Structure 1
Amino acid sequence: MQQALQVIAVVAATFGTAALSAVAGFGGGVLLLPVFLAVLGTRDAVAVLTVAQLASNGSRVWFNRRDVDRRLVGIFAIGAVPAAAGGALLFATAPLPALTRLIGVFLLAMVVWRRWKPHAARLDDTAFAAVGAASGFGSALVGSVGPMVAPFFLARGLLRGAYIGTEAASAVVMHLTKLIVFGAAAVLTASSALIGLALTPASMAGAWAGKNIVDRLPTHVFVLVVETGLITSGLLLLVTGG
């Protein structure tokens, strides 16, 4: 009975966070991570999250494919791919208590960052590639960095579908890189890959639902939900990690 309830909770969380991400372009991964941590443990949680986020972001790319800024995705990838690979290798060997606390600190930092810098200056291509590098490295260690990089995509003048699709395409590049390294380092096991794939329909359905309500949900409501979840999860991980 308990296992069935856990499955229902994970599927529901996957659907809900995918829908929220499709509306605001970020936040789904960091809200889903605490659910996976509670059910799967630190290392498996990040591996499964990577598979689930690949499906969620891939769906958002498809639903907004006509608006994706492919050039910007390429610039982001120049920094993101090698940094994501390096971060994934570090993740594979880092001690679990340290990773748990790192994720807790990161979730709290997300809230501070969003409040301190809700808008970002428009960066040139070189600086944007550096943002890609920081994002790739951070994503490999903590699963998702969407709320931190979102302002930089918005600062490039991307709106609605262009913003959602371009940010998602950049995330797909990072997640693919991480999965290759996780697989080579035996972090991505057959069971964790199957769990992530099993959640793909929920991710795709959530992305589709979010696409259909993107003009209806007030952004401030979404941000409030995200920040409340981040603070709660971050504090719990800092207290229980170890």
Structure 2
Amino acid sequence: MSPLALVTASAAAFALALLSAVSGFGGGVLLLPVFTGLFGLRVAVPALTLVQLVSNGSRVAFNRDEVRWPLVGWFALGAVPLAVVGGLLLAQAPLAPLQRVLGVFLLAVVAWRRWRAHRERPPRAPGERAFVAVGAASGLGSALLGSVGPLTAPFFLAVGLTRAAYIGTEAASAVVVHVAKLGAYGAGDLLTSRVLLLGLVLSPASLAGAWVGRRVVGPLSERAFVVVVEVALVAAGALFLLGA
């Protein structure tokens, strides 16, 4: 692992955490293609999981009094077993099909956001027990693809969570998924010294970016940032589908 790759990954983690802290979207899912290009998919997904565990854990700590724990419990019932299954699949599945699935996923994120933006009425609020299914989909998708936050976040918003309650509850649910994933990655021999080094190096950079992003209002508007993120996601998804 070259020093240049570590510096590049750290800079990307810092910059994308900063920008996503300002806009509320794009950090984890956009880091995945960057990490994959630098280190390969089997290293990128576990390393990103370590970074996200630290990031989400800090948000839980900051908003612990507002977390809706029963909702997290329902989410965990579906998320934990499917995250373990997904983590074990990542260790064994051929990389070329996984990268193409990742390409489809990145394009789906953009399509999902565009579709939701043009809906006339908000989706009907799901019951708490429905979060077993949300957790199952999140656990499997996150274990295989690194981050599915943009696709699951609307369900947390639909039950009326706002501000600290949304941030804390969504982060606590993500922590459950990340811990289960790490257990499966360890069983599948994916938590190598290289992955642990990346997690150690990149987590502080990501936390620093999030901290700065909350305190600095950059010149890029939220709408412009979302457009930049979506263009980058489409480009990365096309490259993965083409096998580049």
- Taking structure 2 as the reference length, the TM-score comes to 0.89
Encode CA deviations 1:149-177: one digit per residue, 9 max, x unaligned: 11111111111222122211111110110
Post-superposition offset of 1:218:
5.2
| Residue number in structure 2 paired with 1:112 | 111
Q: Does the 8 Å CA contact 1:60/1:207 hold for their aligned counterparts?
A: no
**One-letter amino acid matched to 1:115:** R
SS at match of 2:147: coil
Alignment of 1:1-242 (within 5 A): 3-118=2-117, 119-212=122-215, 219-240=222-243
Q: Which moved more, 1:221-230 or 1:16-25?
A: 16-25
Q: Does the 8 Å CA contact 1:59/1:207 hold for their aligned counterparts?
A: no
Q: Which moved more, 1:22-31 or 1:4-13?
A: 22-31
Q: Percent identity?
A: 58
Post-superposition offset of 1:52:
1.1
CA RMSD of aligned residues (A): 2.3
Q: Return the alpha-carbon distance in structure 2 between the equivalents of residues 22 and 218 of structure 1.
A: 13
Q: Return the alpha-carbon distance in structure 2 between the equivalents of residues 72 and 218 of structure 1.
A: 33
Post-superposition offset of 1:109:
0.8
Q: Does the 8 Å CA contact 2:10/2:201 hold for their aligned counterparts?
A: no
Q: Does the 8 Å CA contact 2:6/2:198 hold for their aligned counterparts?
A: no
Q: Relative to 1, partners in 2 of residues 1:219 and 1:80: Cα closer, same or farther, differing over 3 Å?
A: farther
Q: Relative to 1, partners in 2 of residues 1:22 and 1:65: Cα closer, same or farther, differing over 3 Å?
A: farther
**One-letter amino acid matched to 1:197:** L
Q: Return the alpha-carbon distance in structure 2 between the equivalents of residues 141 and 21 of structure 1.
A: 22
**One-letter amino acid matched to 1:193:** L
| Structure 2 portions without partners, runs of 5+ | none
Post-superposition offset of 1:213:
5.3
Q: Does the 8 Å CA contact 1:106/1:234 hold for their aligned counterparts?
A: yes
